[in-house]
């Protein structure tokens, strides 16, 4: 596991002590849903945190507003074309700024106690690696970093003495549910899936789903890419691959169960028959708050879980016929090597095409499966030895997916 095994996530040493030195943060993906939720928690605890840097993608105005709101000392925009707009928006604030991929990596390397890694997609790999190489503790929400380059990233974590804290709700729930368990007694780790907006739809209805329907998630407010992945359960496949690297467990010990209420986020089953679960109402502020002050705890601002009010919790097996993307992800995880990298790359291309309304919803999983099948017959299936090699595999897989969609 990538976190400190000597520290028990479910046995914290109490709330943050009064008068404690403020924790310094870097927030990568500051303008996205995770970044915005993080800012809301910081508002509740103005004396507990300082922000060394924030980074965003293309929206200079939003990044400037966030930088000012959290009192950041440095703001980095990934899109170099937005530098002038960012500089203008920050004029008179005293906040240093820069633009371009190198600027985002610079933000990731700024001295801090914790990096929030919430850049969506494979573009988050290099900034995450920059933070790892600086020996930082990273609360990781960018699952693509581990799906695309898991082996290389985990090797870098060990080499540089960095730490990863799981920020995704499911992985954070499992982290908390593990406690100080003897790892040899763990029988299974189970991620839950809400089932998304198409849980009860027929295969024919899912195939003809519109973009607006795919974006209408019943429980979570997320970015468009993650929301569309969730609608086809592909997101859960990505999370299985992420869990494999985060917790160092084989595919045979990982499972998915559909849980429409999104109250139970992850479960750990032990060989004595007992099961522990991480539970909370669906609000990303819960895992964010856990990571922000781990192993202490702070108020997140999220509504508290009342099981009597919820009333009923239900669970069902995922339907791999109606949701073939999950089946393909499971096969990629089982095959290992470069297949998870290929899977992720093809999926990103296909989702972009769906968002652009160039393909149908069912074409996402169909395209991913075709690219993965082709990769089994050539060098793309080999395990990438470095992050650069993984990104090279990613590039080729993207080209192949794009060619299929033209």
Token pair recorded at residue 311: 């009333």
For 167-260, strand residue ranges (E) read: 186-193, 254-258
Dump pLDDT digits (tens) for 178-187.
988 998 999 9
CATH of domain 180-284+314-404: 1.10.1740.10
CA distance 88 to 251: 50
Q: In 161-218, which ranges are continuous DSSP H helix? A: 169-178, 203-207, 211-214
Q: In the chain, list all ranges with CATH 3.40.50.720.
A: 23-171
Residue 122: name the closest of 330, 346, 335 by CA: 346
Check if the beta carbon of residue 170 is closer than 8 Å to that of residue 264.
no
Looking at residue 382, what is its pLDDT? 87
Looking at residue 320, what is its pLDDT? 97
Check if the beta carbon of residue 162 is closer than 8 Å to that of residue 132.
yes
**CA distances for 92 relative to 88, 96, 207, angstroms:** 9, 10, 52
CATH class of the domain defined by 23-171: alpha beta
pLDDT, tens digit only, all 406 positions of the chain = 333 333 333 334 456 665 578 999 999 999 999 999 999 999 999 999 999 999 999 999 999 999 999 999 999 999 999 999 999 999 999 999 999 999 999 999 999 999 999 998 889 999 999 999 999 999 999 988 999 999 999 999 999 999 999 999 999 999 999 988 998 999 999 999 999 999 999 999 999 999 999 999 888 777 888 899 999 999 999 999 999 999 999 999 999 999 999 999 999 999 999 999 999 999 999 999 999 999 999 999 999 999 999 999 999 999 999 999 999 999 999 999 999 999 999 999 999 999 999 999 999 999 999 999 999 888 788 889 899 999 999 999 999 999 999 8
Looking at residue 223, what is its pLDDT? 81
Q: What is the dihedral of CA 340, 342, 347, 352, to 10 degrees?
A: 140
Looking at residue 9, what is its pLDDT? 37
Locus of tokens 């299974």: 188
Q: Look up the pTM and report it.
A: 0.91
CA distance 182 to 24: 33
Dump pLDDT digits (tens) for 56-114.
999 999 999 999 999 999 999 999 999 999 999 999 999 999 999 999 999 999 999 99
Cβ neighbours of residue 19 under 8 Å, at least 6 residues apart?
none
Q: Is 71 left (phi over 0), alpha (psi -120 to 50) or beta?
A: left
CA distance 306 to 322: 33
Cβ neighbours of residue 184 under 8 Å, at least 6 residues apart?
none
Looking at residue 18, what is its pLDDT? 56
């Amino acid at each position: 596991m990538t976190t400190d095994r000597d520290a028990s996530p479910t046995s914290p040493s109490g709330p943050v002590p009064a008068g404690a030195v403020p924790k310094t943060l870097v927030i990568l993906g500051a303008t996205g849903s995770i970044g915005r939720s993080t800012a809301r928690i910081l508002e509740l605890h103005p004396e507990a945190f300082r922000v060394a840097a924030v980074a965003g993608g293309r929206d200079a105005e939003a990044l400037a507003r966030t930088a000012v709101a959290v009192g950041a000392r440095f703001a980095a925009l990934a899109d170099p074309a937005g530098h002038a707009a960012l500089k203008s928006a920050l004029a008179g604030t005293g906040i240093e700024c820069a633009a371009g991929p190198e600027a985002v990596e610079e933000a990731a390397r700024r001295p801090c106690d914790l990096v929030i890694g919430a850049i969506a997609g494979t573009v988050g790999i290099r900034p995450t690696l920059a933070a790892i190489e600086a020996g930082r503790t990273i609360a990781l929400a960018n699952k693509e970093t581990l799906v695309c380059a898991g082996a290389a990233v985990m090797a870098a974590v060990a080499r540089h003495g960095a730490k990863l804290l799981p920020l995704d709700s499911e992985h954070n729930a499992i982290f908390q549910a593990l406690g100080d368990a003897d790892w040899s007694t763990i029988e299974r780790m189970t991620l839950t899936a809400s089932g998304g907006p198409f849980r009860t739809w027929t295969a024919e209805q899912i195939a003809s789903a519109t973009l607006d329907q795919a974006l209408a998630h019943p429980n979570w407010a997320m970015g468009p890419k993650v929301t569309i992945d969730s609608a086809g359960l592909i997101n859960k496949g990505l999370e299985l691959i992420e869990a494999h690297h985060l917790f160092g467990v084989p595919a045979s010990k990982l499972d998915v169960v559909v849980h429409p209420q999104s109250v139970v986020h992850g479960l750990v089953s032990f060989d004595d028959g007992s099961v522990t679960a991480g539970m909370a109402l669906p609000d990303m502020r819960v895992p964010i708050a856990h990571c922000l002050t781990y192993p202490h705890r702070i108020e997140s601002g999220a509504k508290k879980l009342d099981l009597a009010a919820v009333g009923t919790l239900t669970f069902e097996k995922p339907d791999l016929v109606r949701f073939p993307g999950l089946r393909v992800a499971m096969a990629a995880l089982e095959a290992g090597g470069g297949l998870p990298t290929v899977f992720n790359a093809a999926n990103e291309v296909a989702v972009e095409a769906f968002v652009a309304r160039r393909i149908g919803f069912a074409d996402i999983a169909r395209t991913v499966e075709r690219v993965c099948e082709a990769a089994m017959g050539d060098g793309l299936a080999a395990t990438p030895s470095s992050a650069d090699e993984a990104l090279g595999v990613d590039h080729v897989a993207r080209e192949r997916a794009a060619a299929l969609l033209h």
